[in-house]
Amino acid sequence: TTFAGIPTSAGTKVEMEVTDGTIGNALPLEVDFDGDDTIDFSLKPKVGETVFPPALDQTPPEARMFFDTETKTVAVEGIDENPTTVTYSTTSTKHKKQKDKITTATITDQAENTTVLIYREKFSNFKWIPQVEIISLSYNGALTNLKNTKLKYIWIFDKKKEKYRMFATNLRTSSDAVESHYRSKQDITIIMSKPQELDDSDDDSSADKRLIREKLSGLVIPEFVTNQGVVSIKY
């Protein structure tokens, strides 16, 4: 038996037990691709034949950018059939006395496919109000520069009651825009018919006087989701 085309990394481990000294009765070859002591796939030996591994996953994960209500920060996670990991690296820059933070979020799946999302966070005088602009998106090194892909979240959190008293959002892509406002007393989120930019100092009350496209139950926070290089707004 010949085993061919097995992908390897620096930590790859393989093991096969030959119980009676014959290939015909040998146990399958077990492959731990990344050396984490989890078997990624196994290959059954066939006398006189060449055995290949199953088709490799060459599809990079997609990305989801959302507001984490527990940490109260903008976060990124991978969307894939298999588990993914996300690593962050950040650099800080100054522009007209304003601090900006550029973050590179690298999403990696079990087959070592990578998706890299680079975004800039701008912080106004209200340091807890992030304005995020996605700069670029790349799949396994294939880069797509993005324009007019921005989000802004404004919220008030009641620490005593441990709940959000207000949450306003504005998300924009080159082809779509969504503005939403959470009303804690009614426990509903309203989606506006004609999205407008959010004012940092706005008390959020004027939205009720405008046309409403949709009312949703509970706190609903719109987010960005990628699909083959296109960023969409989901909620």
Task: Quote the pTM value.
Answer: 0.77
3: pLDDT strictly greater than 80: yes
127-137 per-position pLDDT tens digit: 567 789 999 99
pLDDT of residue 230: 96
Q: What is the mean pLDDT of the chain?
A: 90
Express each pLDDT in 49-106 by its tens digit: 999 887 778 899 999 999 999 999 999 999 998 889 999 999 877 666 667 889 999 9
pLDDT exceeds 70 at position 125: no
The domain ranges of the chain are 1-55, 62-234
CA 82 to chain centre: 14
Give the pLDDT band of residue 161 (cuts 50, 70, 90).
Answer: very high
